[in-house]
């Protein structure tokens, strides 16, 4: 029994000491915080306007592509209501991912921590502006027909720092994640 364990340890040690080629997998990612307002559709037929504060995180294909596809998760607290949470697919232009002008479209599903835990489909149109700025319009529709419509303004911290190539004359990014 000890011999196979020693052999496995020796093979692992040898494999770890072999030279490795440089990794070629470059990914894009995002982490954004925003604030705005939304008309929140409820099961009782009311649609109060509430503050919303979306938090989005995700990872996508390499930023060298003209269109970057990725997956993300969101958490959107609504003032005085509760939280929406869910997952989505994102398609973004290269300009958006690199912190400049561009567009990203999110499509996915959400669930609510309020109003009976109803869930539905979500779509978000994100307009990217230089320095990691994001202006977004979102739309959600539950299976029961309630609609939520909102708009936010925010910042994507990874588009501002790690991936930013826009505005390098004013503020150089000495170690961007990718450079053409």
**What pLDDT is recorded for position 7?**
67
Average pLDDT over residues 12-35: 76
**What pLDDT is recorded for position 49?**
93
Poorest-confidence range of 33-42, 97-106, 129-138, 158-167? 158-167
**What pLDDT is recorded for position 132?**
92
Banded model confidence at residue 2, pLDDT cuts 50, 70, 90: low
**What pLDDT is recorded for position 153?**
98
Residue 15 has pLDDT above 80, yes or no: no
- Domains of the chain (ranges; CATH) run 26-160 (2.40.160.20)
**What pLDDT is recorded for position 1?**
47
State how far the alpha carbon of 136 is from the alpha carbons of 29, 80, 81, 97, 150, in Å. Answer: 18, 21, 21, 15, 8
**What pLDDT is recorded for position 31?**
96
Q: Distance (Å, rounded) from C-alpha 166 to C-alpha 147?
A: 36
pTM for this prediction = 0.82
* List of long-range contacts for 43-52, beta carbons under 8 Å, 24+ apart: 43/115, 43/116, 43/118, 43/144, 43/146, 47/147, 48/80, 48/81, 50/78, 50/79, 50/80, 50/81, 51/78, 51/79, 51/80, 52/76, 52/77, 52/78, 52/79, 52/150, 52/152
Average pLDDT over residues 155-167: 87
Structure confidence by residue, pLDDT tens digits, 28-86: 999 999 999 999 887 787 888 999 999 999 999 999 999 999 999 999 999 988 999 99
Structure confidence by residue, pLDDT tens digits, 96-126: 999 889 999 999 999 999 888 888 999 999 9
- Of residues 10 and 92, the one with the higher pLDDT is 92
């Amino acid at each position: 029994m000890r011999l196979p364990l020693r052999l496995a340890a020796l093979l692992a040690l040898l494999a770890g000491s072999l030279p490795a080629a440089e990794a070629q997998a470059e990914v894009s990612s995002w982490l954004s915080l925003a604030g705005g307002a939304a008309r929140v559709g409820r099961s009782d037929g009311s649609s109060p306007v509430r503050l919303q504060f979306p938090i989005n995180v995700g990872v996508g294909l390499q930023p060298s592509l003209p269109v970057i596809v990725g997956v993300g998760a969101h958490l959107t607290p609504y003032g005085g209501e509760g939280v929406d949470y869910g997952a989505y697919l994102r398609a973004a232009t290269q300009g958006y991912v690199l912190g400049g002008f561009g567009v990203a479209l999110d499509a996915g599903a959400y669930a609510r921590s309020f109003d009976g835990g109803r869930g539905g489909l979500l779509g978000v149109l994100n307009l990217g502006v230089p320095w990691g700025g994001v202006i977004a319009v979102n739309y959600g529709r539950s299976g029961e027909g309630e609609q939520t419509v909102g708009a936010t303004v925010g910042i994507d911290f990874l588009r501002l720092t790690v991936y930013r190539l826009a505005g390098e004359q004013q503020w150089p990014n000495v170690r961007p994640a990718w450079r053409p």
